[in-house]
């Protein structure tokens, strides 16, 4: 009996021991800190939240911030997979992967330290204290609290709920002092670009992108920008208080009261993309369920289209357009889809040049305070009185008024709102939108007497017609929805949404949602879907085959230029001066131009014959007299013949001048370099020695010593075959290894190029340029001796599938920087300003430590100290690396080398050659493919597959950006090499947006592509043709 009691005692003692020492704790003290991978974590009492050290990305993968495998202290949901972090302590300064971190109390603060060196990575920074009664506890709410216990109670010194990161959870309170800051990337907890906070002055929530508003919730009392946050989110942010609270720090927003219990496992996150996301945990599916997010689409972003620019998400991909009577403030930015600059008026408004444009279902920025009016006419007059008035809105509102007892009566009042500043944040077809009327210049929207009025934000240019009383009857295929302000096109079988009309191009774009997803490029489908009557004055110009537009399609149509306006009586022609209503050749009565006048299709008017504005392609010949037609044709023929003769004379003169200059240059060249003997004399005589060898230590090697070192140029010592001849490995006295380049007789590298290389490389000294060890010239033999590069050339690694696996991202990035520094030395830092002219991967050698060295200076040219470009009659270089101005015009400059560097950079990071590239059906070169991915926001698809594990993605995107900047068609747009190095080597430098690269030609459906059969090195190019 005693033994059984003793055994039970031992079991109970072990259980208690296990509980005391193995169960999770929720408190940290001076004597018991949290050490990474040693003392575990802190877990809240109800096991809802956990605090500890973590790494955002899996071990071995690169982190876009703080380096690979950086360690952070954070709080996350306990036993929720994948880990969902709600707070991070040391987000500004992560712990290195090879260190051991510790979370401890020291000097009155909670600190994150390196447990070995004591280096500080984060602190609460609340002052100093020597108290030993401080503790840190993680609460069941997820709040981390630093407390100091005295004899009376526990004083809270600091808490994480008042110092959040990117997540808001129940128990926190959003007031004017609190803001959430996004992560920098999905796996990078460092502070990002977006902040979420309460704008208490306007009683609304706002997301900022750095210093610019990115999204606004709207204001509770703003009729035109209503409040867009649902009650469940408002309840969470205000800590479940209602608007009757006397706490003025909280927003006075009415919402449905929601119990805190309804928010179990709920969170609001400001994502690294700027999206505000509210989600709850679904225990059955074990996943987070997103129930609300903003901005929900592009048009939800604040003022996406700028001042007087209207956004319509239903018109994708044409999201933004200027209101009628307005034009883009920056057309270049507008065409590149940067609409933030907004629009300006085409003409100024005045008392005599003002009319109003009616817009339906609009969201718009805040108006002035409303005032009572008797009618809309009175509201309009009030706007016209004020020269600053940009728009007005009129509405009749119902008001409930309490009477004696319990009865109420409903009355109405007429209100007028005006806008005295630029209209901003305009959104069309907004569900809770209102009608507004915008003031515009009459001259900007009344182009012709018969022109139709704008439909909402869409101009209806003549001759297009939305009714029988405007436009040309032949073009009456358009419908204006007066409720939504949207335009539709009526085909034979269906009606299509019009998303864009371009009057200057005589084109408009349609969009429709088919019943089922099919190939819109199938000609059979086209005929069935958009069938046009042969009599219609419209023609399909293109289909949206190349665009990834989701479940809808777009098609572009053009319209034929119109003949004279139709009429019934002469009164109908009053708006068309110098015309008379009479039958035309098509059988209809039209306003035909009077004698000595003809129909001008550009201005839709009758202009005098011989006028400078007379169009050459006018269709009015069908309705004008034969005499007038023959006279115009005769004048056109005379002008065309004269212009042709002048152009022919210019071409002949230029040809004769170029021929003379070429002959003169050839005579000079033959006089200077008539034979190899002459160059040998240049090297041996004082002319070479004094001018070019002065101060240069380049030894002359005799041919016999080279033959012995290379074993008579045996194949066993052959390192490779370059464009100008084979390269051998030679071992000289003392075991010194040297690379020997034996120039081929038919290589195309002549005596001048040989002399160039001897003199130039001898003068250059840089760690990223190959060193010339000597030269030899005897008879027909021309030999150059370089320092030996054991890893051969860069192309042998990049384009060899068995070798490129050895080049991880760090190596490739260092090679790119090395090449850039070598070029910068040539262009700027050396005693001579040198243009290489033949930079390519095969001309970049790698030493034993994989450091790059630029070689092959046979084509290099020296320009003056302040010169940056020159010209040549003979274009030499390598196909795929030459800049367009050099290949086509013979103009070379430092920007030509920049272009070649851009090609090399893109080849290094992609592992693909530019020439003969056929990755995409739409492009024929690596440059075109890179541009296609860049504009399609798929730039990571360019990455060499072997880099997926080691690649730093932010550096990769920066490299692609810099590469595309370097290969722009206009040399002026390309950066200098000093700018290139700054952009590559600095995280703070922001690269510009590149323009379309040179030689980027899309292949149409009917074109065919063939593999390039050109050799890599071309000694002389007389013509280049694009495929």
Q: HSE (CB half, 13 Å, CA atoms) of 236?
A: 21
> Taking a C-beta distance cutoff of 8 angstroms, is the pair 165, 91 a contact?
yes
From the number of C-beta atoms within 10 Å of its C-beta (0-12, 13-18, 19+), residue 210 rates as exposed
Q: How far apart are CA 153 and CA 887, in angstroms?
A: 83
For 918, the token pair is 């056929």
Q: What contacts 24+ positions apart, CB below 8 Å, involve 70-75?
A: 70/94, 70/95, 70/96, 70/97, 71/36, 71/95, 71/96, 71/97, 71/99, 71/101, 72/189, 73/101, 73/103, 73/112, 73/122, 74/189, 75/49, 75/50, 75/51, 75/138, 75/142, 75/144, 75/160
Q: How far apart are CA 874 and CA 837, in angstroms?
A: 12
Tokens 């005579």, residue?
A: 667
What does 98-109 look like in DSSP terms, one character per residue?
TS-EEEEEETTE
φ, ψ of residue 549 to 5 degrees: the values are -110, 15
φ, ψ of residue 933 to 5 degrees: the values are -70, -35
**Buried-state track 275-291, b at ≥16 Cβ within 10 A, e below 16:** bbbbbbbeeeeeebeee
Q: How far apart are CA 1010 and CA 1023, in angstroms?
A: 18
**Helices 894-910 and 926-935 sit at what angle, rounded to 10 degrees?**
70
φ, ψ of residue 371 to 5 degrees: the values are -140, 160
User: Minimal CA–CA distance to 439: which of 325, 378, 356, 322?
Assistant: 356
Q: In angstroms, what is the C-alpha Rg of the chain? A: 38
Q: What contacts 24+ positions apart, CB below 8 Å, involve 659-665?
A: 661/873, 662/873, 665/873
For 952, the token pair is 């730093």
CA angle 993, 995, 1001 (to 5 degrees): 145
> Taking a C-beta distance cutoff of 8 angstroms, is the pair 427, 359 a contact?
no
Cis-peptide, bond into residue 317, ω within 30° of zero: yes
Residue 279: strand pairing partners: 267, 290
What does 962-1022 look like in DSSP terms, one character per residue?
HHHHHTBSSGGGSPPHHHHHHHHH-SS--PPPPPPBTT-----TT---------SEEEEES
**What is the H or E stretch that residue 287 is in?**
strand 287-294
DSSP 8-class letter at 829: I
> Taking a C-beta distance cutoff of 8 angstroms, is the pair 199, 213 a contact?
no
Q: How far apart are CA 786 and CA 701, in angstroms?
A: 12
Residues annotated as catalytic are 838
Q: How far apart are CA 649 and CA 643, in angstroms?
A: 10
Residue 412: strand pairing partners: 398
Calculate the dihedral angle through the C-alpha atoms of 840, 843, 847, 853, rounding to the nearest 10 degrees: -80
> Taking a C-beta distance cutoff of 8 angstroms, is the pair 67, 810 a contact?
no
φ, ψ of residue 942 to 5 degrees: the values are -75, -15
DSSP 8-class letter at 827: I
Q: How far apart are CA 339 and CA 354, in angstroms?
A: 26
């Amino acid at each position: 009996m005693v033994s059984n009691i003793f055994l039970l005692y031992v079991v109970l003692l072990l259980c208690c021991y296990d509980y005391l020492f193995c169960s999770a704790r929720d408190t940290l003290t001076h004597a018991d800190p949290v050490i990474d991978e040693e003392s575990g974590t802190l877990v809240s009492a109800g096991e809802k939240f956990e605090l500890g050290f973590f790494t955002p990305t899996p071990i071995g993968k690169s982190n876009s911030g703080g380096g690979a495998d950086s360690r952070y202290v954070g709080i996350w949901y306990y036993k929720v997979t994948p880990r969902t972090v709600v707070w991070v302590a040391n987000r500004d300064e992560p712990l290195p992967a090879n260190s051991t971190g510790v979370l401890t109390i020291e000097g009155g603060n909670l600190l994150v330290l390196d447990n070995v060196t004591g280096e500080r990575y984060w602190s609460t920074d609340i002052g100093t204290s020597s108290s030993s009664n401080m503790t840190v506890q993680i609460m069941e709410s997820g709040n981390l609290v630093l407390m100091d216990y005295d004899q009376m109670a526990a004083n809270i010194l600091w808490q994480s709920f008042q110092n959040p990161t990117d997540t808001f959870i129940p128990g926190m309170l959003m007031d004017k002092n609190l803001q959430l800051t996004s992560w920098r990337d999905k796996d990078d907890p460092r502070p990002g670009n977006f902040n979420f906070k309460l704008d208490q002055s306007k009683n609304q929530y706002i997301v900022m992108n750095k210093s610019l508003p990115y999204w606004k919730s709207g204001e509770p009392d703003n009729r035109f920008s209503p409040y867009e946050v649902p009650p469940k989110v408002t309840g969470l942010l205000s800590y479940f208080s209602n608007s009757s609270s006397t706490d003025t720090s909280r927003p006075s927003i009415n919402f449905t009261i929601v119990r805190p219990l309804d928010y179990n496992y709920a969170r609001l996150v400001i994502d690294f993309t700027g999206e505000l996301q509210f989600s709850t945990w679904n225990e059955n599916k074990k996943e987070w369920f997103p129930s609300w997010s903003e901005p929900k689409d592009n048009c939800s972003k604040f003022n996406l289209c700028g001042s007087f620019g209207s956004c319509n998400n239903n018109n994708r991909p044409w999201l933004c357009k200027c209101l009628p009577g307005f034009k883009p403030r920056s057309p270049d930015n507008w065409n590149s889809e940067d609409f933030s600059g907004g629009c300006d008026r085409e003409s100024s408004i005045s008392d005599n040049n003002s009319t109003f444009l009616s817009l339906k279902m609009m969201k718009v920025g805040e108006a002035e305070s409303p005032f009572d009016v008797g009618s809309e006419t009175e509201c309009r007059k009030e706007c016209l009185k004020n020269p600053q008035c940009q728009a007005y809105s009129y509405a009749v509102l119902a008001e409930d008024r309490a009477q004696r007892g319990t009865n109420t009566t409903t009355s109405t009042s007429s209100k007028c709102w005006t806008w005295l500043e630029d209209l901003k944040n305009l959104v069309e077809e907004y569900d809770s939108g209102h009608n507004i009327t915008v003031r515009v210049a009459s001259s900007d929207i009344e182009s012709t007497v018969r022109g139709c009025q704008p439909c909402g934000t869409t101009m209806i240019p003549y001759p297009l017609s939305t009714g029988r009383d405007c436009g040309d009857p032949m073009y009456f295929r358009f419908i204006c929805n007066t409720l939504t302000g949207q335009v539709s096109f009526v085909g034979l079988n269906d009606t299509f949404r019009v998303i864009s009309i371009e009057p200057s191009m005589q084109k408009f774009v349609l969009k429709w949602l088919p019943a089922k997803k099919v190939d819109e490029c199938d000609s059979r489908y086209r005929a069935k879907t958009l069938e046009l009557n042969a009599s219609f004055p419209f023609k399909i110009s293109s289909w949206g085959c190349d665009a990834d537009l989701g479940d809808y399609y777009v098609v572009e149509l053009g319209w034929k230029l119109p003949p004279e306006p139709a009429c019934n009586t002469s009164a109908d022609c009053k708006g068309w001066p110098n015309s008379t209503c009479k039958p035309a050749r098509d059988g209809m009565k039209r306003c035909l131009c009077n004698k000595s006048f003809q129909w001008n299709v550009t201005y839709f008017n009758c202009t005098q014959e011989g006028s400078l504005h007379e169009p050459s392609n006018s269709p009015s010949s069908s309705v004008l007299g034969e005499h007038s037609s023959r006279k115009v044709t005769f004048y056109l023929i005379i002008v065309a013949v004269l212009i042709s003769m002048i152009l022919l004379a210019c071409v002949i003169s230029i040809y004769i001048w170029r021929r003379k200059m070429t002959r003169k240059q050839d005579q000079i060249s033959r006089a200077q370099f008539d034979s190899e003997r002459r160059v040998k004399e240049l090297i041996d005589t004082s002319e070479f020695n004094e001018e070019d060898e002065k101060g240069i230590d380049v030894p002359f090697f005799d041919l016999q010593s080279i033959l012995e070192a290379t074993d008579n140029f045996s194949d066993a010592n052959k390192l490779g075959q370059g464009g100008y001849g084979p390269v051998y490995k030679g071992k000289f006295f003392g075991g010194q290894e040297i690379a020997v380049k034996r120039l081929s007789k038919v290589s195309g590298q002549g005596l001048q190029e040989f002399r160039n290389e001897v003199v130039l490389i001898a003068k250059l000294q840089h760690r990223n340029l190959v060193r010339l060890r000597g030269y030899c010239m005897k008879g027909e033999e021309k030999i150059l001796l370089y320092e030996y590069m054991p890893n051969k050339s860069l192309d042998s690694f990049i384009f060899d599938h068995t070798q490129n696996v050895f080049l991880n991202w760090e190596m490739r990035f260092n090679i790119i920087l090395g090449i850039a520094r070598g070029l910068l030395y040539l262009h700027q830092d050396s005693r001579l300003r040198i243009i290489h002219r033949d930079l390519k991967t095969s001309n970049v050698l790698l030493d034993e430590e994989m450091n790059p060295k630029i070689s092959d200076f046979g084509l290099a040219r020296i320009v003056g100290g302040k010169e940056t470009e020159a010209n040549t009659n003979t274009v030499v270089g390598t196909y795929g690396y030459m800049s367009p101005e050099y290949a086509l015009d013979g103009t070379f400059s430092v920007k030509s080398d920049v272009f070649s560097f851009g090609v090399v950079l893109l080849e290094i990071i992609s592992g693909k050659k530019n020439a003969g590239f056929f990755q995409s059906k739409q492009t024929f070169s690596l440059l075109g493919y890179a541009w296609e991915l860049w504009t399609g926001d798929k730039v990571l698809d360019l990455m060499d597959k072997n880099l997926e594990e080691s690649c730093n993605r932010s550096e990769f995107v920066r490299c692609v950006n810099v590469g595309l900047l370097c290969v722009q068609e206009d040399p002026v747009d390309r950066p200098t090499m000093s700018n290139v190095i700054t952009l590559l080597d600095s995280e703070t430098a922001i690269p510009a947006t590149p323009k379309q690269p040179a030689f980027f030609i899309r292949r149409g459906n009917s074109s065919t592509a063939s593999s390039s059969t050109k050799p890599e090195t071309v000694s002389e190019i007389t013509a280049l043709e694009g495929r």
